[in-house]
Amino acid sequence: MKTWNNKAWFMVLPVLALVAFSAVIPLMTVVNYSVQDTFGNNVFFWAGTEWFEEVLASDRFWAAMGRNLAFSAIILAIEVPLGIFIALNMPRRGWGVPVCLVFMALPLLIPFNVVGTIWQVFGRIDIGLLGRGLYALGLDYNYVNDPIDAWVTIILMDVWHWTSLVVLLCYAGLVSIPDAYYQAAKIDGASRWAVFRYIQLPKMHRVLLIAILLRFMDSFMIYTEPFVLTGGGPGNTTTFLSIDLVKLAIGEFNLGEAAAMSIIYFLIILLMSWVFYTVMTNYGTEKG
Amino acid sequence: MSFSWMAWTWPTATFFIVIALLLISMGVWEYLSPGGNPRVGVLRFETTRGDRLFVSLLGAAFINLAWLGLVGPSLWWALALSVIYAIGVFRSV
Amino acid sequence: MAAGKNSTAAADTIAMRRTTAAAAVGEAQAEIGQTMLRRGRQSRFWWLVPTIYILFLMLPIYWLINMSFKTNTEILNTFSLWPENPTLRNYRVIFTDPAWYSGYINSIIYVVMNTVISVAAALPAAYAFSRYRFLGDKHLFFWLLTNRMAPPAVFALPFFQLYSAFGLIDTHIAVALAHCLFNVPLAVWILEGFMSGVPKEIDETAYIDGYSFPRFFVKIFMPLIASGIGVAAFFCFMFSWVELLLARTLTTTAAKPIAATMTRTVSASGLDWGVLAAAGVLTIIPGALVIWFVRNYIAKGFALGRV
């Protein structure tokens, strides 16, 4: 049981100041921009709720939102089962453990734009191994011109980049299972599926929740990798919310509309984080 | 150091002052009666009054957005709806 | 005098606890090893899945390394699985041109600054969250986490003006502070998980033995969560190292990160693929080195200390 101590606030103060500086002031500014119009030079005109109406009525926004949701759903559907499967097949002891961990964590440590560059040079039909290989197999693959190929490449890139996160989290859950559980299961003659369903999955439940939370949120704010790989193209077929937002704010200098879009985007993120966080903490208290 | 780029307007300033006042009053309330009155409401998990305020504010934001998207730009009705919603949240969640 | 004796006694108790804990961990590992051995006999092909997965991970990286040792003519005109005329020319370009290598130095400077600031600020806060209840603690924790979840694109819009107002544009500290937005919450989250694993009795024993809070924190508590600090530092390093959007927004020349140098050179100089590949390879190396140091804690760290 934790003790009540309001002096603990002083320990939190530095963190509060650091994060508030970069979070609260920009957020307030975004709110201010979203109700005004500007042509530069810090001259602003009151616009009321016009920008919000415009964003909510724009096909462009909903299309980007739809693409983002589809992308998150697809990568979760691939990465979570694949991550669990790989984690179940990882060695638990011996020289294989550090080798697996180091190699699997490597993609996570590569700067986002380099990930984009790697897949750009890997997938190109003139110089890339993947592009050349698929071409040699007789497939008409070209991620620069074909929307479906672009999507396949981006999803493949994300699976390559982030599946290891799910693997490592599940692995952390699996190694915490005491040997006695497996022995008991063996005595009972439990099948492989029963061991997974009643011993391994419950142990992974909590870490899986963290994995899904992180993967969902990070895929929902994805920017750099697809921007480097496809630049949002061909056309607008891989323009996700963040890419569209940056295009609108910096490319078109449409601050008001970009700010309104930021706020809607942020509110959705806030709702989702709250749902995930509530599920996560309540699961924790139920099971102790 | 100039902050003109923040482009403050009275409506947005009022908005943030109201939020700040809400947070301060919640802090005072919590200080006077600690624990946050936890209970299990219609959402079937434990909430404190801080959670209820958060749900009210977030819900109000979405109500206003939905009103803008579906009905029209006069937000007073949406605001009234939000207040009714907030009362509902504080009573039953 | 008496206080000194007490403190050594406390240190002894703690040392004893740590050895017992270490022994327990050793036994658990031996058990897991036996299970693994048994499972290994059951199916001889367990290694197949990790091997295929690692091959899939390494293939694109190999292609980048392969390209970095080729000349541009070879890249564009012949298709070869390994460099036919290996050349170090691409790396020489990077190590001799200040526009290139200063990018690495800039990146490393702000990443290290950010890691130090994030962990230093997060330590006391994580202790407060793991040991005490205080006014609004849960909401504060949630608010911190939302900043980890919020898209940088949302904040990037006024970031330039904010940091200009403080005269910080194009300095390393600006990027380091901006990255605190998502790294500090993450560090608090990880450290809180590790600290909650340390029994509260240790704090109480130390206070009874006359330790002041700062002395207890530095001398007893920090060694106990050393692995947690390492993991938190690793994650701060990682997310600061890989982030580009904010880093690029806040810098122009003097503090420009290597990642931004790469994108700009691509658009300006008509695609020097060899140099681009070499620069990419060089950005992978610091990450690989850091992983090697934390390899034993990496799984626990990804679980944010909560397994």
Task: State pLDDT tens for residues A156-198.
Answer: 999 999 999 899 888 888 887 888 888 888 888 888 888 888 8
pLDDT of C37 > 60? The answer is: no
Euclidean distance between the first and final Cα of chain C, in Å? 42
Q: How much is the pLDDT for C40? A: 44
- Chain A residue whose CA is closest to C257: A111
Closest Cα to residue B4, out of A33, C209, A183?
A33
A44 touches chain B (CB under 8 A): yes
Question: Residue C280's domain spans which residues?
Answer: 98-302
Q: Tell me how many domains chain B contains.
A: 1
Look up the CATH number of the domain holding residue A257.
Answer: 1.10.3720.10
Helices and strands (H and E) in chain C: how many: 16, 1
A61 touches chain B (CB under 8 A): no
The percentage of chain C sitting over the pLDDT mark of 70, rounded to a whole number, equals 80
How far is the C-alpha of A101 from the C-alpha of C298, rounded, in Å? 8
**Which of the two residues, A267 and C252, has the higher pLDDT score?**
A267
Task: Report, as an integer, the average pLDDT of C44-71.
Answer: 88
Chain C residues closer than 8 Å to B33 by CB = none
How far is the C-alpha of C140 from the C-alpha of C129, rounded, in Å? 10
pLDDT of C2 > 50? The answer is: no
Contact flag B12-A31 (C-beta cutoff 8 Å)? yes
Residues 6+ apart with CB under 8 A from B66: B78
Asked if the peptide bond before residue A234 counts as cis, ω within 30 degrees of 0, the response is yes
Position C132 in a domain: yes
Q: How much is the pLDDT for B3? A: 76
Q: How much is the pLDDT for C4? A: 44
Backbone phi and psi for residue A25, each to the nearest 5 degrees, phi listed first: -60, -50
| Closest partner CB to C36 (pick from A92, A98, A165) | A92
Residue A10, Cβ neighbours under 10 Å: how many? 11
Q: How much is the pLDDT for C263? A: 66
Chain B residues closer than 8 Å to C166 by CB = 1
Q: Tell me how many domains chain C contains.
A: 1
Chain C residues closer than 8 Å to A6 by CB = 134-135
**Which of the two residues, C295 and B52, has the higher pLDDT score?**
B52
Structure confidence at residue C304 as a pLDDT band (50, 70, 90): low
Position C42 in a domain: no
User: What is the overall mean pLDDT for chain B?
Assistant: 87
Handedness of CA C204, C210, C214, C216 (dihedral sign): negative
Q: Tell me how many domains chain A contains.
A: 1
E strands present in B4-91: 39-40, 46-47
Task: Report, as an integer, the average pLDDT of C86-112.
Answer: 87
A284 touches chain B (CB under 8 A): no
Chain C residues closer than 8 Å to B3 by CB = 165
Q: Kindly report the nearest CA distance between residue A19 and chain B, in angstroms.
A: 17
Give the number of beta-carbon pairs within 8 Å between A and B. 57
Chain C residues closer than 8 Å to B2 by CB = 165
Chain B residues closer than 8 Å to A265 by CB = none
How far is the C-alpha of C191 from the C-alpha of A13, rounded, in Å? 16
Position C90 in a domain: no
Query: What ipTM describes this predicted complex?
Result: 0.90
- Chain A residue whose CA is closest to B10: A32
Closest Cα to residue C191, out of C150, C233, C220, C149?
C233
* List of chains touching B (3+ CB pairs within 8 A): A, C
Task: Report, as an integer, the average pLDDT of C19-29.
Answer: 52
Q: Please state the pTM of the whole predicted model.
A: 0.84
Position C93 in a domain: no
Question: Residue A133's domain spans which residues?
Answer: 59-287
Chain C residues closer than 8 Å to A144 by CB = none
Contact flag C36-A93 (C-beta cutoff 8 Å)? yes
Mutate to test the interface with A, among B9, B75, B79 (most CBs of A within 10 A): B9
How far is the C-alpha of A194 from the C-alpha of A182, rounded, in Å? 11
* Successive 10-residue mean pLDDT values, chain A, 288 residues: 81 91 89 85 80 88 92 94 91 81 89 88 84 83 85 93 90 82 84 85 82 88 86 84 86 85 91 86 57
Question: Residue B88's domain spans which residues?
Answer: 4-92
| Closest partner CB to A56 (pick from B7, B45, B65) | B65
E strands present in chain B: 39-40, 46-47
How does pLDDT run along chain B (93 residues), one tens digit per residue? Answer: 677 888 888 889 999 999 999 999 998 988 888 777 788 877 778 888 888 999 999 999 999 999 988 887 788 888 999 999 999 988 887
| Closest partner CB to A93 (pick from C33, C49, C76) | C33
A194 touches chain B (CB under 8 A): no
Contact flag B62-A271 (C-beta cutoff 8 Å)? yes
Position A49 in a domain: no
Contact flag C138-B50 (C-beta cutoff 8 Å)? yes
Contact flag B6-C158 (C-beta cutoff 8 Å)? yes
Chain A residues closer than 8 Å to C180 by CB = 18-19, 22
Chain B residues closer than 8 Å to A7 by CB = none
Look up the CATH number of the domain holding residue C107.
Answer: 1.10.3720.10
What is the Cα gyration radius of chain B? Answer: 16
> What are C165-183's pLDDT values in tens digits?
888 888 999 999 999 999 9
Q: Kindly report the nearest CA distance between residue C164 and chain B, in angstroms.
A: 9
Give contacts of B 13-72 with C, CB under 8 A: 26-27, 30-31, 34, 48, 50-51, 54
> What are C184-232's pLDDT values in tens digits?
998 998 898 888 888 888 888 888 888 888 899 998 899 888 888 988 8
Contact flag C135-B27 (C-beta cutoff 8 Å)? yes
How far is the C-alpha of B11 from the C-alpha of A287, rounded, in Å? 46
Q: How much is the pLDDT for A13? A: 92
Task: Report, as an integer, the average pLDDT of C299-303.
Answer: 67
Residues 6+ apart with CB under 8 A from B42: B92, B93
The percentage of chain C sitting over the pLDDT mark of 90, rounded to a whole number, equals 19
Give contacts of A 73-102 with C, CB under 8 A: 85-86, 89-94, 96, 98, 100-102
Q: How much is the pLDDT for B32? A: 86
What b/e readout covers A128-139, taking b as 16+ CB neighbours within 10 angstroms?
Answer: bbbbbebeeeee
A57 touches chain B (CB under 8 A): yes
